[in-house]
Amino acid sequence: MLVVQILLKTGKFILECVLGGCNYEPIPEFQTVTKNTKAIVEQINIDNEESIAVALAQAEKLADLSGEDKAVLAAALSTLFYHDNHGRPGMIKLAGKAEAIIGKLGMDVVPFLISELVNADSESAAHFGRAVARNGKPAVKAVLQAIDANRKEDYAVINLLTALSYFTDSEAISAMPEILVAAKSANHRVRAEALEASAGLAKRLDATLFDEKLRLKMYDIASSALGDQQPIVRHFAVHSIGEMVKKGLLDGELKGKAAKAFSGILGIDGNNNWDNGFIVRHEAEKYVGLFKQAGSAKNKYHQSFRILEKRELCPDTYYFTIEAPLTAAKIQAGQFIIIRPSEFAERIPLSICGWNRDKGTINIIVMAAGRTSREMTNLSVGSCFADVVGPLGTRSHVKKHEGTCVVIGGGYGTGAVIPTARDLAALGNRVIGIVGARNEKLLLMVPELKEVCAEVMLTTNDGSAGIKGFVIHALEEILKRGEKISHVLAVGPVPMMMAVAAMTKPLGIETYVSLNAVMVDGTGMCGSCRVIVGGETKFACFHGPDFDGHKVDFEQLMKRQKMFVAKEKEALAFSEN
């Protein structure tokens, strides 16, 4: 029997959890807990993953919880953190989901989480740490206070440093002095975890938060740790320096010193005196490519893919400016790239919404819908994508038309039509833009589209902006006023493109749609992106992505898009762990 005692300012409770289910002692303080919360906790049976999944689904729907409900729910769900390494991979996903739910309960449960964190095993501590980190600024202060209170308990300090490494709130920069002090601890495990926390914050926080003095101190401490007797400490020292270089925190002389140190670790400096710790060399190999000199024969085509700008357009949708001079020099309207945010991430195709050839930059829009796109939107300015392949595909169909050209963007597809609209206008065409979304807050890139179009019309499902309805209703308005339309380009959700094509086909209006088919290699070799156009098999990556909308087999396209939905959900659930 596992008894969890929760001592919080919000109340005192005793939750008695039996492995076969959870029951409550009928003490007076506990009677304020709602029936919904009790039912969820009673549903948690450590031996039944299906039962746990049901409980978590119900917990996600709870709202307006009292402090007592939050405390009991946090205690019950956190028991999953201690059962994710017992040869049951399903529990890893469930523990990750519980972690997200607990994190949303707010600061009311952070004291409890910290009380568990300081005594947890390393795997469970990671769960508790991530749940704490979700609470941002106030949680940073709580963790630092806990470190001060447990300063003589190395095990507790190690777990608290783990929690600090997961923060993304700018306030976490205030923890760096404490982290750097811990990096000099007499306990090598504390030193190692402090260096890992330093790497974590370098990776997750905006580069502008690190002033020159802090960067120098972070590097000096990590550099000194490269000579530590313990391989685990050297490993995390390499990781810390590597993340600093990757974020762009080290330039000039410091980057040169780091390059020399990493060459020595790998034994490629000519001295043949490499580090004898495999984990140290393996870690250095991950970052050594960042030091290669531009202009060398081997690096003639190297691009950093560094994020120069990131701004939120609407919830979960971001605009990025990426340093990619070779791609920017060749990209044309309608083409796309395949991007990978990290070494072990999947490759996903994305449309280009703009570029600057002189500055060597490209622009993309990313909506956090799956595991990889969510990983991308978690990156900050200064971070680098692992790789970007492109430009791929063929240029949009651009020529001088007799009548008006209409470009239609739905959701993040709006960005993709801007380059084509600009090229059409440059040829002397009158270009009208249509932007559609569910509501006003989800309308994207409208000012940018207005810069290249003679007119821009808006549609929203709820009528909060522009015409109430869909993009085809705006297209109808243009036709009703007697304007001749010669060309239409639609980019966005498949149902939207299908509706536009269905509307223009009987009118004989040339219509192109951009197909976002399932894609792997992006060069036409794998066949994953095959689509049926005019009864023939085409590859979206090679022949497209733009195709004659009147000839596309949309039904077959939608079926293929659903092929990996289950796997995508599984990957997303796993990533939330």
In terms of domains, do 32 and 117 share one? yes
CATH number at residue 233: 1.25.10.10
The answer to whether the CB of 221 falls within 8 A of the CB of 183 is yes
The pLDDT assigned to 316 comes to 85
Asked if 48 contacts 33 with a C-beta cutoff of 8 angstroms, the reply is no
Return the higher-pLDDT residue of 18 and 142. 142
pLDDT score recorded for residue 457: 94
Question: How many structural domains comprise the chain?
Answer: 4
Q: What share of the chain is helix, strand, coil (3-state, %, to 5)?
A: 50, 20, 35
Q: Which of 260, 293, 326 is the last residue of a domain?
A: 293
pLDDT band at 23 (very low <50, low <70, confident <90, very high): very low
**Mean pLDDT lowest among 1-15, 198-212, 228-242, 323-337:** 1-15
139 belongs to a structural domain: no
Considering the domain architecture, whether residues 182 and 328 belong to the same structural domain is answered as: no
Contact 446, 458 (CB under 8 A): yes
Over residues 495-510, the mean pLDDT reads 92
Q: Is residue 145 part of a domain?
A: no
Q: State if pTM tops 0.95.
A: no
User: Is the Cβ–Cβ distance between 218 and 198 less than 8 Å?
Assistant: yes
Question: 548 in a domain, yes or no?
Answer: yes
Residues 168 and 32 occupy one common structural domain = no
From 255, 346, 341, select the one nearest 305 (Cα to Cα): 341
Residue 156 in any domain: the answer is no
Kindly state whether residues 373 and 473 are assigned to the same domain.
no
Bridge partners (DSSP) listed for residue 491:
409
pLDDT value at position 98?
A: 86
- Flag whether 298 is in a domain: no
Please give the pLDDT value at position 5: 38
Could you tell me the two tokens for 561? Answer: 């898009």
Amino acid at 4: V
DSSP letter at 298 equals: T
Q: What is the 3-state secondary structure (H, E, C) of 303-328?
A: CCCEEEEEEEEECCEEEEEEECHHHH
Task: Note whether 12 and 44 are same-domain residues.
Answer: yes
Q: What local confidence, expressed as pLDDT, does residue 32 receive?
A: 57
555 and 427 together in one domain: yes
Tell me the CATH number at 384: 2.40.30.10
**Residues 294/302, Cβ–Cβ less than 8 Å:** yes
pLDDT in tens, 127-186: 899 999 999 899 999 999 999 999 989 999 999 999 999 999 999 999 999 999 999 999
What's the confidence (pLDDT) of residue 163? 92
Domain of 473, CATH number, reads: 3.40.50.80
- Does 503 reside within a domain? yes
For 541-575, the three-class secondary structure string (H helix, E strand, C coil) is CCCCCEEECCCECHHHHHHHHCCCHHHHHHHHHHH
* 509 and 529 housed in the same domain: yes
The closest alpha carbon to 510, from 461, 538, 480, 546, belongs to 546
Exposed / middle / buried, residue 103 (Cβ in 10 Å: 0-12, 13-18, 19+): buried
Omega prior to 28 cis, within 30 of 0: no
Taken in order 181, 187, 192, 194, the sign of the CA dihedral is negative
Residue 124, in any domain of the structure: yes
Are 104 and 167 contained in the same domain?
no
Q: Are residues 336 and 192 in the same domain?
A: no
For the beta carbon of residue 292, count every other beta carbon within 10 angstroms: 12
3-state secondary structure 386-414: CEEEEEECCCCCCCCCCCEEEEEEECCHH
Closest CA to 364 of 344, 391, 326: 391
Residues 424 and 369 in one domain: no
Is 340 part of any domain?
A: yes
Residue 430 sits in the same domain as residue 451: yes
Say if residue 118 is in the same domain as residue 232: no
Task: Give the model confidence (pLDDT) of 283-334 as tens digits.
Answer: 988 888 787 654 444 445 567 888 999 998 888 889 999 998 888 988 999 9
Residue ranges making up the domain that contains 476? 404-561
